[in-house]
Amino acid sequence: MTQVLMDAEAEEAAVERIVDALVTRPGDGPFAVVGIRRGGESLAKRVAHGIEARGRGTPALGMVDITLYRDDGFGPNDFPTGGVTEIPFELTDHTED
């Protein structure tokens, strides 16, 4: 039996809460959003779009591949192939002091 943890409406509300929490925090520095490759890419893009839609500029967007750091799904003779990490901006430009 499949249990639905969050339907599409609840998922959208959760993304909206994340975006609201980010854009209402103090400070006006530039935003950067980094997602985890595969499942987290679409979430990162949705959060970045939400930030932009609220007039806070277009966030820098990057993706990190964590394949080599996972401990599930690999047998003793399986060797995972790492994907591509893309962070096309300076992280230090997007940190708080």
Q: What is the CATH number of domain 8-94?
A: 3.40.50.2020
- C-alpha–C-alpha distance, residues 80 and 65, integer Å: 12
| Per-residue model confidence as pLDDT tens for the chain (97 residues) | 889 889 999 999 999 999 999 999 887 778 899 999 888 999 999 999 999 999 999 999 999 998 777 666 666 666 667 788 999 999 888 876 5
Q: Where are the domains of the chain?
A: 8-94
- C-alpha–C-alpha distance, residues 31 and 28, integer Å: 9
Position 26, amino acid: P
For residue 38, what pLDDT is reported? Answer: 80
Model-level pTM? 0.81
3-state secondary structure of 85: coil
